[in-house]
Amino acid sequence: MSELKPTAAPGATAPNEGDNVAVIQTNHGRIVVKFFPEHAPGHAENFQKLASEGFYDGVRFHRVIPGFMIQGGDPNTKDQPRHMHGTGGPGYTINAEFNEIPHTPGILSAARTSDPNSAGSQFFLMHRTSPHLDRQYSVFGQVIEGMDVVETIVALPRDDRDNPHEENPAIMEKVSVTTWPLAD
């Protein structure tokens, strides 16, 4: 099926047939994202590489803020104490690829420290529009299915560090890369 489901981000358009998409299967449902390699080629390629290697499998969304975003991609969330969540990465960084795409609901963007060139494996999916991030973070994709899952995850009870409680985490069970359209 090549048309988008109603759970796509507002304003999202379908990828071209044969384009790569990521399927993020969480314990709360499925999120599908398309990539913007023409705007952030290094970030799009890095995410696909890490997903293909199984890097994200079992990793949690460790920071969820209603009205803002959900953040994941830190391998420390698999087996490190909660105070370490948000500090890990793949062991390398990617230079910033800031672009003109606004941070609206469903946007996939690279998380980083105060150093613009510090992105690695962590990313965030926008819950709501946040113009203060525009041209400050590298946008490299968009949700084309699963905004309902983003809504579920962002509403999870969380601790004072915005990390979902241990008894109801948000886990990326499997993250894979496939081509559009999806078989189902």
pTM recorded for the entire structure: 0.97
Model pLDDT, residue 117: 98
Model pLDDT, residue 118: 98
- Residue type at position 9: A
**How many other CB atoms are there within 10 angstroms of residue 9's CB atom?**
23
Q: Alpha-carbon distance 112 to 115, whole Å?
A: 7
Which pair of structure tokens corresponds to residue 31?
Answer: 């999120």
Top-confidence residue, 183 or 43: 43
CA angle 167/28/156 to nearest 5° reads 50
pLDDT more than 90, % of the chain? 97
Provide the pLDDT confidence category of residue 119 given band limits of 50, 70 and 90. very high
Provide the pLDDT confidence category of residue 3 given band limits of 50, 70 and 90. confident
What value does the mean pLDDT take over residues 135-140?
99
Domain ranges of the chain: 20-179
pLDDT in tens, 16-65: 999 999 999 999 999 999 999 999 999 999 999 999 999 999 999 999 99
Mention the CATH class of domain 20-179.
mainly beta
Phi and psi of 147, rounded to 5°?
-60, -25
DSSP for 44-67, written as a single string: HHHHHHHHHTTTTTTEEEEEEETT
Report the candidate in 35, 61, 40 with the shortest Cα–Cα distance to residue 150. 61
